[in-house]
Structures are given as structure tokens and as C-alpha cells.
Amino acid sequence: MKVLRIAWKDTLTRFRDRKALIGLLAAPLIISALIGLAFGNINFGGSEPPLSHIPIILVNEDDGQLGQVYEDVLTSDALADLLDVTKMDDLQAARIQIEQGEARAVVHIPTGFSNQIIPASTGASVGQASIKIFTDPTSTVAPVIVKSIIEQISAGINTVNLAAEISAQQAMEYAGILGPELARLAEILPEELSQENFDFETQKLSLNKSQVGEVQQDINAFAYFVPGMAVYFLMFSMFGGARSILDEESRGTLPRLMTTPTPISEIILGKMGGTFLTGVLQFTILMLASRYIFQLSWGNSLLGLAMIVLLTVFAASGLGALLTSFTRNQLQANVVGMTVSLVFGALGGSFFSTQNLTGALDFASRLTINRWAMDGLTKLTISGAGFNEVLTEAAVLGVIGLVTYALAIPAFQRRFVK
Amino acid sequence: MSETILKAQDLHKRFDKVHAVQGVSFDIRQGEIFSLLGPNGAGKTTTISMLSCLLTPTKGDAQIDGYSVRTQADKVKQVIGVVPQEISLYPDLSARENLAFWGRMYGMGGAQLKERIEAVLDIVGLSQRAKEKVETYSGGMKRRINIAVGLLHQPKILFMDEPTVGIDPQSRRRILDTVLELNKKGLTVLYTTHYMEEAAELSHRIGIIDHGKLIALGTQEELTRTVGEYDTLHISVDGSKTDPGALVEPIGKIKGVHRASLEDSSFIIQAEDANTVLAGIIAQLDKAGARVLNLRVDEPNLEAVFLHLTGRALRD
Ligand SMILES: Nc1ncnc2c1ncn2[C@@H]1O[C@H](COP(=O)(O)OP(=O)(O)OP(=O)(O)O)[C@@H](O)[C@H]1O
Ligand SMILES: [Mg+2]
């Protein structure tokens, strides 16, 4: 009973904290939305995309290979429904088209863009080149879409870059406390999108045709990336939850709890239970939100889905608690949590499909919770698998959960009983 | 004499490098306010933590209401109320939510819990603001809720670890009054402080703790006396009709008077207890026809005791 009280107190506190909510729910939804938008897979609220054939003008003054890549992608079949691209040579004339309401955005690739970005083999310093986007101030959604597409192309038309970069970079930058910075993500994202200029570093522009090819694959981006982001952000919140035990220790509420007639095992289980409950709620809300916002189908097996989600949260909260129990303090716990979440996200398929992984990388991937969760979830969402087909994933996640919980509880107990 | 509710016997606590508590023993009687007075790092919190079953003593034991803190922690925890030195509350919950949560941790619930929450809010005078989040409270208000939590389950004995640290004088006054009032209603209190005045005002008995050792124990009067400090009486007389100088010797011979001297027309008399010798002195003066113009008694204070015992001031 007291276990539930403690768990509920934690969950309630988290879901009442508006900043924490952004990290729990808004950030994964926004990133999923961006990825979805970038793939032209827009499906807000209806069966017909409300946004299609957005008139844009491309002014490509670059005669190098990079400008051509942008042009190829923007005019590719994958984006054909979304964008109506007109090519023009005169930037001024193109901008007038916006004012006249003929176009929603102008994408301008300046002269010498390729040369500036790709330095001569002599190794000359890299210049800062930017693609400029001019947008219709009266239009709200279209410019965001165009910008996110350009951003996508710039990031190597590789979703690894967008998601990993934004979350990793921002999160690392404010590596102090996890909750608040992840919360800031949602504030930062629209800001980034509102920038008119996109500056590139050479590394990001290792574009090649095969990567461009990914865009042309007709995959359901939402069906993959919403679960991907949900699992990715779940890891963060599970580590955050585990860390709250250390927060309570330093704040004095844990010692005070220990002076009440409540066994320490119940206190620890309550704290872990609160993290578990938070994870289940977070995942459930993300599933419901994506169902209604993105029209995403979560498959045909509600039972299979419930099992995978519960066991994913079970495993993630267990691992979070176990690793946290061995850290020296909150700061170290934060670093560990951040690192594991990022590495697991990268290896475990939160950002890209692990289907083609082989050898050591595939093995490493199978060591992550994200991998098993994603395998189970994508079987359900993309392949429409049933309960029996995700039993292996469920079993692996269940074992991870059992082992980590079994180790974490006594580890915390040893740590706190002095 | 009322019965003993807490009996600490040779408590020791050794951390990795620090021997924080080194053989502390004392008794607390039912209905008494007992203070542990000592400077920073003396071992007050460590002692209270052992009595709260938060730390296991390295050596020694304590009985509270007959239960051992070593072997019957569950029973002990039902009997004690704890007010930690740090404000140990959930800042993002309201005061009432905090109280509800902590009450449940004491196994309370339902109407009884509701009633107790209102009662303790009333005791600390925060009923009006109970809906607000604790993080919006002033330091003094937080301290009062911190105390309220310790009172919820109607403990037999309340441990208060420096409950007035870092707050304004009014809040401090309020808290001291609350402690006195609770005690008047029968609550036994173990109070720690490094403020001599607080210990002096509140306590029936005081233990002075320094470097993990209880260096003195007793009522304020007993303590100051054991270290050879005396009450000092200053008596000014009208010396126009008699010679006060002739009275120094007879006064010095009164039982209980340690030393007597005369400066101008004022007697300075050191006595073990001013009250017991006062009648005799007045009688002597009266017999000689010396009119008393002014009389002052200076009791020796705890500060002086600490200084005497350790060679250091209580507050540096
Ligand atoms: N968990 C711990 N680990 C190591 N040393 C500790 C620990 N807790 C206390 N100490 C040390 O034990 C000694 C006594 O500390 P304690 O907190 O009991 O003193 P205190 O009288 O409560 O002081 P204050 O008035 O500052 O609260 C100090 O030297 C302190 O550094
Ligand atoms: Mg202390």
C-alpha cells in the first residue's frame, strides 16, 4: 500500500510539472512530427493530407554537385505529392511570386555553394555557405515543412542525423539536469526552425546517392519513428526516475522516509514503481497522441502491444535503477543515464532500422533494450504481427526487467542502510 | 520523578574516518524537554539519527518506550516523531499534500488523517496557506511544516534537530512557543541546538555535547554549579547609618555563601544558590540597619559552562 502511495506521489509530481511534461511527451511528439513531415508523410487529422502540392520555387545558382542533390531530392517522387517545385533563375522575380501568393517559399542555393562547402583537395579552409529560404509570412505550416525538408537534406537525408543531433547536442549542452533540458528541447526546436539560414559544416554533407535513395523507399515513417522516439525518450525518463531516489536522499526526504515505519524495501520499490508508472503513462499517452495526431496505427494486437510496452518500461526502469544504484552521486547518475540513453538509442534502432545490421554491430544492438522494444513494436505496428509473434521480444525484455529489479533493490538497500 | 521514556546507553557511531559519537549516554523522562547543546559537528544529528533508527550504532543501544533502536526499530518508529535538521518536504506538493503523504507513511488514513492534518496545521498556524506549494513558502513557514509532519501521528516523544536554524527572530519565537506549548500538553521533546539561549529557555535538562562526547549533563542550575560557577548577588546598601565594611565577614559566614566582598557600598556575594542564601543576607543587613537600595542576581550561564569545560566559546 505504501509502495503505491510513494509511486503515485512521484507520478503525480512528474505529470504536474509542466517542464517535465515537455520532456516526457512534447519532445518525442515534436521530433516524430518533424521526421514525419520531412518524409512527406503528413496526415494531420484526416485521411487526405490537408497539405499537398505546396508551391515552392527553387533558385539553384550553384553549378556543383551539392546543389544538384537538393534539387534531386526536392523534385523526387517521394515529395511529389507534397511539393510543387518550380525552377527559376532570378531570385528577385521568385520572391515577388511569394508576395503575389503564387508560392509559399523560395529556396535559394547560392552561386559556388558546392565549391564553398567541399574544400579543394589542398585542404583550404571551409567557408560558411548558406541556403536561404524565403517564406510567405501569411503561411504558417508550409514554411515549417519546407524548412524541415531542407534541414533533412542537409543532415544527409538521414534521419539519424536529425534526431540524434538535436537531442544529443542539446541534451549534452545542458548536461546538468536531465528533465529541464529535455524540456527545453521543445522550445529550441521551433526556434531552430524559424531561422532563415542554414549553415553547414562539411561533415554533414557527405551525401551520396544511396542515402538519397532512402527517401525514395516508401516506408511509413511514423510507424517506425514514433515508437523509436517513444522508446528513446522513455530511456531518459526512466533514468531520470531512478535518479530521483538520489535526489530524495540529498534533499533529506529519503532519510525522513526511513524514520517512518516503512521498510526500506518498500520505499525503494515505491520509488521504482513510480518510475515504472511514469513510463507506462508516458508511453500510453504517446501512443494515444500519435494515434490521433498522426493517424498512426499501433497494429492489430492490443494484448501484444500492452505486453511489449509494459515489459519495455519494466526493463528500462530496472536498468535505470540498477545503473543509478552504483553511481556516486546525481551528477554521475546523470552522465551515465544520458550516455546509456544515447548509445542505446543509436544502437538499438530508435533512429534507424536495424534490419540490415550484421556482425558485431548487430550483436551490440541486441544488447540494448531499445532494440528488443523496437523489434517488438515494429513487428506490431508495421508488420501487423500478433501476440504470439512478439513473445521472444517480450521474454527478453521481461528477463532484463526481472534481473535488473532483483539486483537494483538490494543494491539501493545496501547503499541507504548505514 | 516520572518514568524514563528514552534511555541511551554508550552510543557510538564511527564513519569511515570520523568517530562522530563516542559513548553518549543519557535518559529522558516523560514530559521533559531535554536539549543536546553543542557546536557544529559535535555529533547532535548523528546521535538523533541513531535514536531515529536511521543510523545503526557502531556500539551501544538505546531504549525508547522500552523498545531497542537496534532490534525493534519498527516499534520505535511508531513512538517517535522526527523533525530533521534539513527541511525534508516535497517542495512541489502543497503543505496539505505533504502532510497527507507523510501521514500515510505512518500508516494513517481516512478521517483520522484528515483530522490530524487540520490539527497540526493549526498548531503551527498555517491552516490558511495549506493549499500552497511548499516551494512558495518562506524559510520559517517551511520549518513549521517540517515540524507539523513530525507531530502528525501523535508521537510520545518528538526529536527536533535544530529546528530554528536560519530563520528570522519572529519565526524562531513562534517555534519556541510551539515547543513550550506542546510540552505543556505532555509531549516529551528531545531538542538539539547550538543556541545557548534556546537550551536555557526550553529545557528541563541539558546535555552538553562536544566532539562526540557528552561532557556535562543536568539542569541548567546543576550544570553551572558543577563547574564551580556561582550565582552572583550584587547588593547596594545605604551606608550612611552603618559601616557596611563590618558586615562583610558575617555575610561570608552564612551557610551557602562562597565569598563576599564590598566595592564602594555594594556587596558582591558569590553563592551556590542565590535563593537559599538571600534570606540570611537580608536578615544580617536588616539587623545592622543597612537599607537595601538595589539587588541583582546574575545566574551563571551555559556559555560560561561550555567555556569552562572546553576552553572554547560555544559559537565561533
Ligand atoms: N554520513 C557521514 N559520513 C561521514 N562523516 C559524517 C557523516 N555524518 C556526520 N559526519 C561527521 O560526524 C561529525 C558529527 O556530525 P553531526 O552532523 O552529527 O554534527 P552536528 O552536531 O549535528 O552538527 P551541526 O550543528 O553542524 O548540525 C562531523 O564531524 C561530521 O562531519
Ligand atoms: Mg546537525
More confident call, A172 vs B43 = B43
Closest residue CA from atom 30 of ligand 1: B41
- What integer best gives the mean pLDDT of chain B? 90
- List of residues 6+ apart from A237 with CB closer than 8 A: A23, A24, A275, A278, A279, A282
Mean pLDDT of A258-270: 95
Q: In which element (H, E) is residue A163 found?
A: none
Mean pLDDT of A366-377: 93
Q: 3-class SS at A273?
A: helix
Closest residue CA from atom 18 of ligand 1: B43
Does A265 touch chain B if contact means CB atoms closer than 8 Å?
no
pLDDT above 80 for A343: yes
Residues having CB within 6 Å of any atom of ligand 1: B 15, 18, 20, 38, 40-46, 85, 162, 194
Cα B164 versus chain centre, distance: 12
pLDDT above 70 for A23: yes
How many whole angstroms separate alpha carbon B11 and alpha carbon B21? 7
Whether the predicted model's global pTM rises above the 0.90 cut: no
More confident call, A125 vs A351 = A351
Strands A105-109 and A130-135: antiparallel
Cell numbers for A114: 558546392
User: How would residue A140 be classed by pLDDT, with cut points 50, 70 and 90?
Assistant: low
Residues of A in contact with B78 (CB under 8 A): 261
Q: Environment class of residue A292 by beta-carbon count within 10 Å: exposed (0-12), middle (13-18) or buried (19+)?
A: exposed
Interface predicted TM-score (ipTM) of this complex, two decimals: 0.79
Cell numbers for B259: 565569598
Of the candidates B82, B90, B106, which has its C-beta nearest A253's C-beta?
B90
| pLDDT tens string B168-207 | 999 999 999 999 999 999 999 999 999 988 999 999 999 9
Contact A5/B104, CB-based, under 8 Å? yes
Closest residue CA from atom 17 of ligand 1: B45
Strands B4-14 and A130-135: unpaired
Q: How many CB atoms lie within 10 A of CB A122?
A: 5
Q: How many CB pairs under 8 A join A and B?
A: 57
B44 C-alpha vs ligand 2 centroid, how far in Å?
5
Q: How many CB atoms lie within 10 A of CB A338?
A: 20
pLDDT above 50 for A237: yes
Residue A189: per-residue pLDDT: 42
Does A328 touch chain B if contact means CB atoms closer than 8 Å?
no
Q: Comparing A18-22, A287-291, A300-304, B40-44, which segment has the lowest mean pLDDT?
A: A18-22
What dihedral do alpha carbons A173, A174, A179, A183 form, nearest 10°?
-70
How many whole angstroms separate alpha carbon B131 and alpha carbon B141? 13
Q: Environment class of residue B28 by beta-carbon count within 10 Å: exposed (0-12), middle (13-18) or buried (19+)?
A: buried
pLDDT above 70 for B95: yes
pLDDT above 70 for A98: yes
Hey, which residues does B210 pair with through a beta bridge?
B213
How many whole angstroms separate alpha carbon B151 and alpha carbon B125? 13
Residue A62: per-residue pLDDT: 85
| pLDDT tens string B206-221 | 999 999 999 999 998 8
Query: Residues B246-254: contacts with CB within 8 Å, 24+ apart?
Result: B246/B288, B247/B284, B247/B285, B247/B288, B247/B290, B250/B284, B251/B281, B251/B284, B254/B280, B254/B281, B254/B284
- List of residues 6+ apart from A92 with CB closer than 8 A: none
Residues of A in contact with B165 (CB under 8 A): none
Contact B104/A255, CB-based, under 8 Å? no
pLDDT above 60 for A214: no
User: How would residue B69 be classed by pLDDT, with cut points 50, 70 and 90?
Assistant: very high
Hey, which residues does B63 pair with through a beta bridge?
B7, B68
Q: For residue A170, which phi and psi values (nearest 5 degrees)?
A: -65, -40
Q: Which of B16, B19, B46 to mutate to test the pocket of ligand 1 (most atoms within 8 A of CB)?
A: B46
Name the H helices within chain B: 44-51, 73-79, 95-105, 110-124, 139-151, 169-184, 196-202, 220-226, 248-252, 274-287, 302-310
Nearest to A333 by CA among A176, A170, A164: A176
In order of their start, the domains of chain A are 2-45+226-416 (no CATH), 54-197 (3.40.190.10)
Instruction: Give the Å distances, CA to CA, from A132 to A190, A196, A315, A401.
Output: 17, 6, 45, 49
Residue A152: per-residue pLDDT: 55
Does A250 touch chain B if contact means CB atoms closer than 8 Å?
no
Residue with grid cell 532570378, as numbered in its chain: A90
How many whole angstroms separate alpha carbon B265 and alpha carbon B114? 66
